[in-house]
Structure 1
Amino acid sequence: MASHIVDAMTTLPQRPNSALLVIDVQNGVVAPDAPHREAVIANINTLVGRARTADVPVVWIQHQDEELTAGTESWEFVPDLKRLDTEPLIAKSYRDSFDDTDLESVLAERGVGRLVVTGAQSDFCVRSTLHGALARGYDATLVADAHTTVDLTAYGAPAPEQVITSTNLYWSSQHAPGRQGGTLNTTEVTF
Structure 2
Amino acid sequence: MTTLTDRPHTALLVIDVQNGVVADAHDRDGVIANIDALVGRARSANVPVVWVQHSDASLPRDTEPWEYVPELKRQDDEPLIHKTYGDSFEDTDLEAVLAERKVGRLVVAGAQTDMCIRSTLHGAIARGYDATLVADAHTTEDLTEYGAPVPAQVIAHTNLYWAGQRAPGRKGGIVKTAEVSFQTF
- Give the alignment's TM-score, normalised by structure 2: 0.97
Structure 2 unmatched runs, 5+: none
Residue 114 (structure 1) aligns with: 105
Identity, % of aligned positions: 73
Structure 1 ranges of 4+ moved more than 2 A: none
1:54 partnered with 2:26: no
Per-residue Cα deviation, 1:8-67 (whole angstroms, up to 9, x for no partner): x00002100000000000001002x32111110000000000000111000000000111
> 2:19, 2:58 → 1: CA distance?
12
Residue 180 (structure 1) aligns with: 171
SS in 1 for 2:22: coil
> 2:90, 2:21 → 1: CA distance?
19
Residue 115 (structure 2) aligns with: 124
1:163 partnered with 2:154: yes
Alignment match of 1:15 (pick from 3, 7, 10): 7
Provide the aligned length of Structure 1 versus Structure 2.
182
Residue 103 (structure 1) aligns with: 94
The one-letter amino acid paired with 2:15 is I
Alignment match of 1:29 (pick from 21, 28, 47): 21
SS in 2 for 1:29: helix
SS in 1 for 2:107: strand
SS in 2 for 1:187: helix
Per-residue Cα deviation, 1:120-144 (whole angstroms, up to 9, x for no partner): 0000000000000000000000000
RMSD: 0.6
- Give the alignment's TM-score, normalised by structure 1: 0.94
> 1:156, 1:36 → 2: CA distance?
20
Per-residue Cα deviation, 1:79-108 (whole angstroms, up to 9, x for no partner): 100001110000000000000000000000
> 1:36, 1:156 → 2: CA distance?
20
Structure 1 unmatched runs, 5+: 1-8
> 2:58, 2:50 → 1: CA distance?
23
